[in-house]
Chain A
Amino acid sequence: MYEVARKTGSGETPSQPATQELDEAELVRGCQTGDRPSQDEFYRRFRRQVAANLYRVLGQRVDLDDLVQDVFIIAFRGLSRFRGDARLSTWLYRICVNVALGRIRSKARRPPPVLMVNPVADEVESSPPSPEQALRQKQDRERVYRALEAMQPKKRIVLYLHEIEGLDLKDIAYIVEAHPVTVRTRLFYARRDFYRLIAEDGE
C-alpha cells in the first residue's frame, strides 16, 4: 500500500536532467554547499557502485542497506574535506573499503555463523545455466569467499581490489592509504595465502 518510496524514487531515470549533467567538480561543490539537488544526484549516481563494492567484497547482502547508508553518511559529512586529488568514485571506494573493513573486523569478533549465507542467492542471470553448472558455480564462489574470509582483512581488501575490481597499485594505495610498495608486498603475500587456501580447501 505504501508506495511513496517507489513513486518519489529517483530510480535510474532521474527527473532532473540539469543536475544529471553536472560534472564531478560541480557536483562536489554543490554537495559541499548543501545544495539538495546536487546531493540527490550524488546519491543517485554512486549508490549502485557503492552497493556493488560492498556486496562483492563482503559476498553477502546481509545488512547491505545499513552499510550503504553508512558509506553515504560518511561521504556527505566528509565531502567538505574532499580535495579532488582522486576521482570521486575512487574516494568513495576508500570509504567503502573502510566500512567493509569495519564490518569484517566486527564480524570476526562475533561467533561464526553456522550456515554460510549464499552470496549470490538473489542474483538474476541473463541466461540461466543448467542446475549442475549453477551448483558448481555457486560452490566455487563460496570457496572463494571462504578463502577470503580466512585471510587477514588488510590482505583481503588488497586482493579484492586488485583481483576482482581490477584496480592498479596506485589506486589501491590511495584507497587503503598506504605506499604503493607496501601495497605490492601486501598483494604478494595476499595472493600466496589465497591460492594456498584455495588449493587446500576440500582436502
Chain B
Amino acid sequence: MTAARHVAPERLIEVDAGRASPRETARVDRHVAACARCAAARERLARARDAMTDIAAQQPPELGWDHIGARVYWSTSSARHRALREAERPWWRRPAVLVVASVGLAAATTAALALWPADQRPGVSDAADRAAPPRPQAPKVVAGSATDRARSILRGVVTFASGQVALDGTEPRTDGVELGAVLSSEVEMGARLRTGEGRLVIQFGQASGFALGPHSSVTVGSFDDRAVELVVYEGAVEVELSHRRADQTFVVVAGHHRVSVVGTAFQVAHRAGQVDVECARGRVMVSDGASEVPVSAGEQLKVLEEAVLARALRQTVDPRRLAALERSLARPLLPAWTASPALLDTSSTVELAAPAGRAVRVDGVEVGVGTFALRVMSGRHHLQVSNGAGGFGHGAWIDAEPRARHRARAGLDGVVRLLRSGTDGIAAGGRSLEAMRAGEPAAAARARRLRRRQLTAALGGSARARQCMVPLEKRDLVSGSNVLFDIGFNADGSQGHLNVIRSNVPPDVERCLRAVVDEVQLPDGPAATVRFELAF
C-alpha cells in the first residue's frame, strides 16, 4: 500500500473497532504511520465516534411545555373542530348569528324609539311616509368643520416637579415654589412652561409624556389628539411616547429645526444656538424646511441653528450617555392605564422635603433627588430616602387616597416622617409597615377582617370573574391563576383605591378582573385597606 492508495475510511473504522484481522490491522497501521492524510482521517473518524456518543447523551433544551401542550390540545380538541365546522357553514345559518341579529334588531328598534322625540315619531302612516318622495336633507357639514369637531383636546397632568418650575411662563421663583399647587394644575394648549434649577414632567394621553430639564423654556403649541407641537426656546425636552394614532403628529420645534417623531423616546436640546437631538428608541426626523435627516435609536445629531442641516453629522451616542437618557426618560412618567384627565381623579400627590442630593425611592424605584413633588397612583406606597452612606432606610408607607395631597419630610439620617395635611405636625411617620401593623389597634384588624369577608361574599362565584377567565380556559391555564389586589374601602362601602399588587395572568385578563373588583360596593362599615386575592 502506498501513499497514493489511501485507506478507505470504513476500513479505518473496522480496524479501530477491532473487527479486522491482525494482518490487516498491522498493514493499515504501517500505512497510517507513513501517511499524514490517513493519520488525519483516522483522528477525525475517532473524534466523530466520540462526538456521536456525546450527541446520544444530549438532553433536549427546556421548552415551553405548557404552552406547547395548550396549543396541541387546542388544535386537536373537539371544541376547535366544532368551531371550524361552524366557520364553514354559511353565516346566515349559524344559530349565534340569528340570535344576535334578532336581539340586535330588537335593541335597535327600542333604542330608536327611546331616542326619537315622541312628537316626531312616525305614526301608523309610516308605510305611506316611506312611499312619499324624500324630504329635503339638511345642509351637509363641510369637511373642515367635521375634522375640527373630531379633534379631542389633550390635557396634560404634571406628574413630577422639583426645584424652580413655573407653568405660566413667568420666571420660576427662587424663594420656594409651592410644588403641590404645580401638581394640581393642568397643562393645556398655549401653556408656557419654564424651569430654573428644576425639573418638570407632564403626562398626557395614554402614558405619553415629556420632561423639561433644568433651565428650559417650552411652549405647548398644538395639543390635541391630532397634533402635538412643543416649541423649545431654550434648554432640553425629553419625550416618551406611547402608541399614537396613525394620523397623529408630534413635532418639537427648536429654532429653525423641526423634529418630527417616528419613534418613541428622544431628547431635543436647544442651547446657545445649537440644536442637539438624541434618540433613545425608535426614530425621529429632523428638518429645517429644506432637507430632512433621520436620527435612529442610539444616534445623536448636533447642528448649529444657522448651519445647513444636510451637512450635520450624525454620531453614535456614548453608551453611558444613552443609558442615562434611558433612565431619565423612564423616570417619573407614570405607567398609568388611564388617560390623563382620569389620572387626576385616580392619583394623588406626594410632596417630599429631603436633603439636597439625597436619592429618593418610591416603591423601590428611584424617582428623584432632594425635594420634589410627585404624582402617584392611589394605594399604598413605600417612600425611602438615601441616608447619605448610599443605603436606604426602612422609609415610610403612605396610604394615598385619590386627589389627596400627602406631605413628608426626610432628615439627614434618611428617616421619613409623614406630615399631616395642612399642618406641620408629625403623623404616624417614619414607621415601617410591620411596625404600623404591630401597633395598630385591634379595631383596625377587625375592620379588615370584616371587609375581607364582605368582599369574599360579593365576589364568590362571580360569573363575570369566570367570564374573564375564558381566554385562559380555552388553553386550560385557569388552574393556579391568581391576582392580588390592594383595596381601600371607605366608611360608605365605596372604594377609595384599587391596585393590582401581583398577578400571574395576561394583562387583558388582569384588566377584566380589576374591572369586576372595581364594581364591588360594600355596605356601610369601617374604613379599611385590605389585601384580597382572586385565585382560580
A-B contact count (CB 8 A): 145
**Chief secondary structure at chain A's binding surface:** helix
Across the interface, do A69 and B72 meet the contact criterion of CB distance under 8 Å?
yes
Q: Is A51 an interface residue (CB 8 A)?
A: yes
**Chain A interface residue number, banded:** 35 or more
Q: Are B37 and A192 in contact (CB under 8 A)?
A: no
Is B48 within 8 A of A143, CB to CB?
A: yes
Indicate with 1 or 0, residue by residue over A164-203, a CB within 8 angstroms of chain B CB atoms: 1110000000000000000000000001100110111111
Interface check A154, CB cutoff 8 A: no
User: In the complex the two chains form, is A52's CB within 8 Å of B9's CB?
Assistant: no
Whether the Cβ atoms of B480 and A7 lie closer than 8 Å is yes
Report the bound CA distance from A73 to B67 in whole Å: 14
| Interface residue? A64 (CB, 8 A) | yes
B55→A56 contact, CB < 8 A: yes
Residue of B44, B45, B55, B505 with most chain A CB atoms under a 10 A cut-off: B55
Do A4 and B472 contact each other (CB < 8 Å), given the known contacts A9-B66, A68-B68, A195-B13?
Answer: yes
Asked if A164 and B55 sit within 8 Å, CB to CB, the answer is: yes
Cβ–Cβ < 8 Å partners of B73 in chain A: 39
- Partner pick for A7 among B63, B69, B481, CB 8 A cutoff: B481
A10 to B72, CA, bound (A): 15
Chain A stretch 57-93: residues in CB contact (< 8 A) with chain B = 59, 61, 64-65, 68-69, 72-73, 76-77
Q: Does A141 contact B (CB under 8 A)?
A: yes
CB distance from A7 to the nearest CB of B (A): 3
CA distance in complex: A43, B67 (Å): 12
A64 touches which of B52, B60, B71 (Cβ 8 Å)? B60
Q: Does B439 contact A (CB under 8 A)?
A: no
- Interface status of B4 (Cβ within 8 A of chain A): no
In the complex, which of the residues A68, A164, A191 contacts B10, with contact meaning CB atoms closer than 8 Å?
A: A191
B76 at the interface (CB under 8 A from A): yes
Which of B9, B60, B78 gathers the greatest number of chain A CB atoms within 10 Å?
B60
Known: A1-B504, A52-B59. A198 touches B44 (CB 8 A): yes
Given A1-B503, A5-B66, A9-B65, answer yes or no on A195-B477 (Cβ-Cβ < 8 Å). Answer: no
Cβ distance B11 to chain A, nearest Cβ, rounded Å? 9
Tell me the smallest distance from the CB of A122 to a CB of chain B, in Å: 5
How many Å from the CB of B368 to the closest CB on chain A? 26
Residues of chain A lying within 8 A (CB to CB) of residue B8: 196
- A4 B61 Cβ-Cβ under 8 A: no
- Indicate which residue in B71, B72, B476 contacts A8 across the interface (CB closer than 8 Å): B476
Known contacts A73-B76, A196-B9: does B54 contact A141 (CB below 8 Å)? yes
**Is A6 engaged at the interface, CB distance under 8 Å to the other chain?**
yes
Instruction: Give the docked Cα–Cα distance between A56 and B55 (Å).
Output: 7
Bound form: Cα–Cα A69–B8 in Å: 42
Q: Give the chain B neighbours of A69 by CB distance below 8 A.
A: 68, 71-72, 75
The interface residues of chain A lying within 8 Å CB-to-CB of B506 are: 2, 4
- Which residues of the partner chain B approach A4 to less than 8 Å between Cβ atoms? 66, 472, 477, 480-481, 504-506
Contact of B479 with A by CB under 8 A: yes
Interface flag for B12 (CB, 8 Å)? yes
For A117-155 the 0/1 string (1 means CB < 8 A from B) is 000101100000000000011001101100100000000
A48 within 8 A of B: yes
CB distance from A129 to the nearest CB of B (A): 11
> Which residues of chain B from 24 to 47 have any CB-CB distance to chain A below 8 Å in the complex?
37, 40-41, 44-45, 47
Query: Which residues on B sit within 8 Å (CB–CB) of A51?
Result: 60-61, 63
Confirm or deny: A3 has a beta carbon within 8 angstroms of a beta carbon on chain B.
yes
Given A140-B51, A198-B48, does the pair A72, B68 have CB atoms closer than 8 Å?
yes
**Separation in Å of the B485 CB from the closest CB of chain A?**
15
Q: CA separation between A73 and B44, bound complex, in Å?
A: 40
Q: Compute how far the CA of A69 lies from the CA of B45 in the bound complex, rounded to whole angstroms.
A: 35
> 8 new A-B pairs (CB below 8 Å) besides A39-B73, A141-B51, A192-B10?
A1-B503, A7-B481, A51-B61, A54-B60, A56-B56, A56-B58, A64-B61, A199-B44
Q: Which 10 A-B pairs have the closest CB atoms?
A: A7-B480, A195-B9, A140-B51, A199-B41, A51-B60, A3-B504, A5-B66, A199-B9, A55-B60, A52-B60
14 A-B pairs whose Cβ atoms sit less than 8 Å apart in the complex:
A4-B477, A52-B60, A54-B60, A55-B61, A56-B60, A123-B58, A140-B54, A147-B48, A164-B55, A192-B9, A192-B10, A195-B13, A195-B45, A202-B44
